Amino acid sequence: MIERKDAMQRVRLAHTRSLLDELRRAGPLSRAELVQRTGLSRTTLFDIIADLLARNVVVEREPVVEGQRGRGRPSSAVSLNPAAGQIVGIDLGRARINAVVANVGHDILAGGSRKVAASAAPSRRAAAAIALVEELVERHGVDLSTLEAVGLGLPGLVRDPGRPDGSHGLTTAARRTVDRFREHFGAPVVADNNSHLAALAEATWGAAQDSGNVVYVRWSDGVGGGLIVDGRPVRGAHGAAGELGHVSLDPHGEPCPCGGRGCLELRIRTSALIAECTARGEPVEEVAGLLDRAAAGAAIPAAVVRDAAGLLGHVIAGTVVQLDPSRVVIGGDLGRLGDLVLDPVRQAIRRLAIPRHPRRLEVVAARLGDDDGALGAVAAVLRHGAPDPQLAPPGAAGGPGRPGSRG
């Protein structure tokens, strides 16, 4: 009898953890959504929620307007208690640092950015990111006394090819940066490539939220990418999965810093597009000028962007053949140009990715903007661990904001 009781307790604990894992990954969910996601019966799930509410592990949130997600009338949502912990998400981009502070209930408490020189040393970039977080915390009155972890997005290769497994497989440079943040904040640090994290953010809160299989491209002065397969981010054996910018278009082409030749990134990064506009007789100043004039329909900038998007589509078509995704998401600076970029990509996929094979594939613009990498760093922390259901957090705090809202 005692053994049976212990077995039932273990099953109950497993069910509870499954529920809490979903709330960590997805944020506030209605009971109907939780039934669908966990596979638990309504009776079992409602009983577990009642227990967690009584112990203040989860809280009731304001009603979710389910019609906005394609469902019926509004219903209340369940969330992890926002007071259970905070998460700092940082994207150390090549030219800009973005940071957000969130809680485990998926409320965004603060966010901001600052420019940084592309030539700045890693130590200087880390110091600038730390100063940005401290500024945000002070400005928004955020208490980090229950900081759970820091999520960190870094450009380029983050994983050591010789040690591909887990958080200990970081490159030497990434490890130094991680150590700097861990020592300053006194909390664990989860690090990954910032394009991989941007893909995760779009899959969690953005344009790929309802898609289990996604190809994401971050197109700015670098061309990075991320893959979501069966709802899970894919790093690959050496941490380099999704590096679409380093697919070679010409094996005899210009040398790339990655060691290859003729890489896509060399042809379509923003600096290359600006140079191409000048070569065609219409100089543009900086990225903002390129985007503004292309969006306004200026002939040469628009043609340069369309041609580059066609090259991107050519590479994505090969990835579509390999992965068979349901959605392709284009983010970064060029993703803001909408159909000027998306249509050539769609056309290339239709022409090159097994045209006779019927598929339902959407090519859409990213939704989360410049915060995507920092939000993805938060999402990575939320997926990295789960709360102990036997420990009740302090009383509920914070409002029912969603990513993008500011406290």
**Which residues is 199 bridged to in the sheet?**
none
Q: Where on the phi/psi map is residue 56: left (φ > 0), alpha (ψ -120 to 50), or beta?
A: left
Cα dihedral angle (158, 160, 161, 164), rounded to 10 degrees? -90
Which segments within 123-179 are labelled E, that is strand?
147-154
Tell me which of 125 and 210 has the higher pLDDT: 125
As a whole number, the mean pLDDT across the chain is 87
Query: H or E element: which one contains 120?
Result: none
Q: What is the DSSP letter of 83?
A: G
Is the pLDDT confidence value at 211 over 80? yes
pLDDT at 358: 82
Distance of CA 183 to the CA centre of its chain: 25
Q: Is the predicted pLDDT of residue 248 greater than 60, yes or no?
A: yes
* pLDDT score for 65: 53
Q: What pLDDT is recorded for position 389? A: 41
Parallel, antiparallel or unpaired: strands 86-92 and 147-154: parallel
Sign of the dihedral defined by the CA atoms of residues 312, 317, 319, 323, in that order: positive
* Structural tokens at position 312: 């991107």
Nearest to 403 by CA among 69, 102, 87: 102
**Model confidence pLDDT, tens digit, residues 113-165:** 999 888 888 889 999 999 999 999 999 999 898 899 999 999 888 877 665 44
Tell me: the pLDDT tens digits for 25-84? 888 999 999 999 999 999 999 999 999 999 889 898 876 554 444 444 457 899 898 888
C-alpha dist (Å) from residue 268 to 74, 312, 335, 366: 45, 8, 13, 18
Q: What is the pLDDT of residue 5?
A: 63
Torsion of CA 324, 329, 331, 337, to 10 degrees: 120
16 or 402, greater pLDDT? 16
For residue 312, the SS3 value is helix
Measured between alpha carbons, how far is 242 from 271 in angstroms, rounded to an integer?
22
CA distances from residue 260 to 32, 180, 313 in whole angstroms, order as listed: 50, 32, 20
Percent over 90 (pLDDT), the chain:
65
Q: Which two tokens stand for residue 256?
A: 């790339």
Domains in the chain: ranges and CATH:
2-80 (1.10.10.10), 84-197+370-384 (3.30.420.40), 209-366 (3.30.420.40)
Mean pLDDT of 396-401: 39
Q: Quick one: pLDDT at residue 221?
A: 87
Indicate whether 3 pLDDT > 90: no
Rounded mean pLDDT of 359-363?
92
